[in-house]
Amino acid sequence: MRHYTHNDMGPLRLHRPLIRATRVKTLAISSTRMAGLPLPMGTLVMVGAVGVMGMDASHPPLLWLYSVCTITVSGDGALTLLAAFGTPGMLVVTLVFIGMAVPTAGATTPLEALPGFYHFLAEFEPLRQITGGIRSILYYDAQADAGLTGPGS
């Protein structure tokens, strides 16, 4: 007896044979794809922000490279959590990369104004470092001590 899995894509339903793949194998395949996808995605973001919307960026190559690297790191982190936790990993990724990261990023509320728990989270949440690096590139002439070499301020 063959097992099939279905995939609903809008009004279309595809039936394909079930593939037995381990989480490690799935992580390896996804990470391989994640190695190539940030290049066009970072380029599209730069074209849209700088080219189409006219954002002032004095260091476009550095901003593009930083964008590609942050997409890669965030994507691999999310894929790793999905591989570690399986289906509930989607909730874990949402909580870790969005729910807990947004308050600690320092983009809307200073970290000093938040409870102590967020100070602990700010040490490893990626959005804080991403925000600090982008702020350094865009507003502080890409100075390393303005957020590129450590946690954003």
Q: pLDDT tens-digit profile of 104-116?
A: 887 778 888 888 8
Domain-located, residue 152: no
CA distances to 7, 8, 14, 15, 16 from 11, rounded to whole Å, are 11, 7, 10, 13, 16
Q: pLDDT tens-digit profile of 38-79?
A: 999 999 999 999 889 988 888 889 999 999 999 998 999 999
Domain-located, residue 70: yes
Domain-located, residue 59: yes
Domain-located, residue 43: yes
| Counted domains in the chain | 1
Task: Please give the mean pLDDT across all residues of the chain.
Answer: 84
Which domain does 139 fall in, by range? 4-146
Domain-located, residue 60: yes
Q: pLDDT tens-digit profile of 6-48?
A: 677 778 777 777 777 788 888 998 889 888 999 999 999 999 9
Instruction: Quote the Cα angle for 130-132-134, to 5°.
Output: 70
- What's the pTM? 0.76
* Residue 150: strand, helix, or coil: coil
Domain-located, residue 26: yes
